[in-house]
Structure formats: C-alpha cells, structure tokens
Structure 1
Amino acid sequence: METIEKNDFGQKINYDLLLRPQSLFDIEEAYLWYEGKEKNSGLEFIEQIETSFERVRSYPFSYQIIKKKLRRALVKKFPFGIFLKIREEEILIFVVFNRLGLNSPPLAA
C-alpha cells in the first residue's frame, strides 16, 4: 500500500508540478531582466521562484482562488505571482506574472 505524504493540514503534498511553456518563458525573461540590473539578482529571483514552487507543492490548497479553480501564489521579495490549478495528481503552472504591470520588469505580452 502506498503511503501518501501529508502536510500539517492533512492535505496531500508533493504533487507533480507541470509548467506550461509560457510560464517558463516568463521566468526566463524576468531572470534576464533582473540579472541585467544587478549581478546575481536574477539568481535570487530563480531561488525565490523555486521556493514558491516548493510551498505550492506542500500547501496547494492554501492559495487564494481567483476564478473557478484557478489559484494565485505570490513570490516573496519580488513583485510576481504564479497562477496555478490543482488536478488530482499534479499542479499545473499556467503563468508567472509581474504584479506591478508595466516596466518592472518588462515581460512579453
């Protein structure tokens, strides 16, 4: 019998994360923008994204529902959010977006 790992709230953790191509593009664009502003700030951005993904995997139901089953997780230290949807055995990452909008950093539309 398979043991299912659970978080403090009794929810299953360690879902598989699936990233849509747009979310990977968003992360790369932001990394390049931050790295161009200050050395190693792009790396710090990537580390915060990875930390956010681990939190999402461990506590997927703790994030605010924005519309229907679409949830939003915020990235610490950076003005970014992550749109996600929880499926039975996986979490789908739709997009990583700049919450401030224009010019900070410029992401492709």
Structure 2
Amino acid sequence: MVYKLNLKTEAKTDIIDGFYWYERKSEGLGSRFVHAVEETLNHINKYPLHFQVKYNNFRQGIIEKFPFVIIYRIFDDEIIVFAVFPTKVNPKKKPQ
C-alpha cells in the first residue's frame, strides 16, 4: 500500500528548531540532523508499521544518531507526523 506522508505544522517547526539548535552547536550538524530526519521519514513512509504503537495509536520512529523520535499515526492511506520530539524532554509534553 502507498501512503501519503503529511507533516503537521508543529512537526515542521520541530525540525527547523532542531536544525538551528544543532547548527549553533557545530556548523554542519544541523544539516546532518535534517538528513537523519528525512531518512527516518522515508523509512516510515515505506514501512509505517515497523515502529511499535506506544500510546493512543501513536507510533515513534527513532532517529538514528540524534536523541529524537518522530511521533506519527496511520489513518487509512495517510501517515500524519505530529511531532519530532527530543527524547530528553519530559515525556508528559509529548502530543497526546
């Protein structure tokens, strides 16, 4: 089945914020972060059931080499990404 991948505005903002945060730490690190996010999104789009359900039918795609997860849900033929969430933040702040 082919799924349509849809990122909520909040998820796009999370990616941009992550880019700038990492870029301030080290030039080029922000770009590597975005590349890792894109790779994980591509994997989610190809294999949306790969990552397990964590809560309320939300799944968490793990971003390699960065302490972030992509929080998404599957609706029929669409994958909606709600957040790109740092794992070091209080988990109670995750989208519910």
Same fold by TM-score greater than 0.5: yes
1:63-102 equivalences in 2 (<5 Å): 63-101=51-89
**Paired AA for residue 23 in structure 1:** A
Structure 1's unaligned 5+ residue stretches are 1-11, 103-109
Out of 50, 57, 61, the residue aligned to residue 49 of structure 2 is 61
Q: Give the Å deviation of 1:15.
A: 1.4
**What residue number does 2:18 align with?**
30
Structure with bigger gyration radius: 1
Say yes or no: does 1:51 pair with 2:36. Answer: no
Q: Distance in 2 between matches of 1:68 and 1:60?
A: 16
Q: Distance in 1 between matches of 2:44 and 2:80?
A: 11
Q: Normalising to structure 2: TM-score of the pair?
A: 0.88
| Residues 77-105 of structure 1 deviation map (CA, whole Å, 9 limit, x = unaligned) | 10000110011111000011000127xxx
* Structure 1 moving runs of 4+ over 6 Å: none
**What residue number does 1:6 align with?**
none
Q: Give the Å deviation of 1:68.
A: 2.8
Q: Distance in 2 between matches of 1:95 and 1:76?
A: 16
Q: Larger helix proportion, structure 1 or 2?
A: 2
Structure 2's unaligned 5+ residue stretches are 91-96
SS at match of 2:64: coil
Query: Number of residues paired by the alignment?
Result: 90
**Paired AA for residue 85 in structure 1:** R
Q: Larger strand proportion, structure 1 or 2?
A: 2
| Residues 29-63 of structure 1 deviation map (CA, whole Å, 9 limit, x = unaligned) | 11001011101100000000000000001110111
